[in-house]
Structure 1
């Protein structure tokens, strides 16, 4: 393509990856993922059948319904962390409590795997805080690189000729400023 071209030069996979990265950065993504992953073994193991040759081992217990409810609630809380991050603290506390309840109810918390994943996901959700966003521009530039913060305003301005000129600085209160003179337009005592 020529330098004058205004068409998109990026591959569509790179565009989707950048959009996913921006989506992931605005919510407690890893907390939701760990909580989702913790709910799956808690709900799955009580209903799983393991086959060893001709022998079938059923791990179903009397608390199978309880472990299914705990697993489904953990999956729901993980999705809530992703799509409604405003309730992340509630979802994190609920995930930790459900993980603790899964120890006696759901085969030692999905054989400890689901317990640990849900516990970590809940803790990550509680500790996550949204970052500062700039509404004036997107976080990534044209070529996928992160944009830098805008330059701070300096106390001087550059003229086109290359000379520097002091910027207009508003007058502030100081030793020579008369507070009582505000009625006359804030004139300086010395001048």
Structure 2
């Protein structure tokens, strides 16, 4: 009995996620969103203050954009992650201490994860799979020693 079209959604998402630095891009985008949401001043006040006030909105938007670009264009992840970490550190001065440290830490952590991601790495073997392999190795009968 077929389960329907939802059967292939989760494996398809896992395959898509495995081909890119998913957690790095997600954390960088969340950091940018958090910093953007912690800004309290209206845009009229920011434009009146000048470039320093505008940078408070510009840097989190660049963080958010770099996070999304890492997710959808993983071939350029090194460039986006370097820009992301620099902009994340720049929010320390322009945006409420980097969104009260939370957005700053999310952005730096996400950028570092994206920078260190290796695309041709073998997939990790899960804990269940390792346990199955260990049990199977224990149950195999010992092979007789070869005589020379």
User: What's the CA shift for 1:132?
Assistant: 5.5
Q: Secondary structure at the match of 2:71?
A: helix
Gap regions ≥5 residues in structure 1: 2-8, 50-59, 134-191
| TM-score between both structures, scaled by the size of structure 1 | 0.56
Q: Distance between the aligned counterparts of 2:27 and 2:55, measured in 1?
A: 20
Q: Distance between the aligned counterparts of 1:25 and 1:11, measured in 2?
A: 24
Residue aligning to 1:111: 100
User: What's the CA shift for 1:48?
Assistant: 6.3
The residue correspondences of 1:1-191 to structure 2 (distance < 5 A) are: 1=1, 9-47=2-40, 62=49, 63-131=52-120
Q: Deviations over 1:153-173 (max 9, x none)?
A: xxxxxxxxxxxxxxxxxxxxx
Higher relative contact order at CA 8 Å, sep ≥6: structure 1 or structure 2? 2
Gap regions ≥5 residues in structure 2: 123-148
Q: Distance between the aligned counterparts of 2:106 and 2:121, measured in 1?
A: 28
User: What's the CA shift for 1:11?
Assistant: 3.6
CA RMSD of aligned residues (A): 2.0
Residue aligning to 2:133: none
Q: Distance between the aligned counterparts of 1:30 and 1:74, measured in 2?
A: 14
Q: Distance between the aligned counterparts of 1:35 and 1:67, measured in 2?
A: 17
Q: Distance between the aligned counterparts of 1:14 and 1:64, measured in 2?
A: 49
Q: Distance between the aligned counterparts of 2:60 and 2:85, measured in 1?
A: 12
User: What's the CA shift for 1:15?
Assistant: 1.1
Between structure 1 and structure 2, the one with the greater Rg is 1
Per residue, is there more strand in 1 or in 2?
1
| TM-score between both structures, scaled by the size of structure 2 | 0.71
Moved over 6 A (4+): none
Tell me the matched-pair count. 116
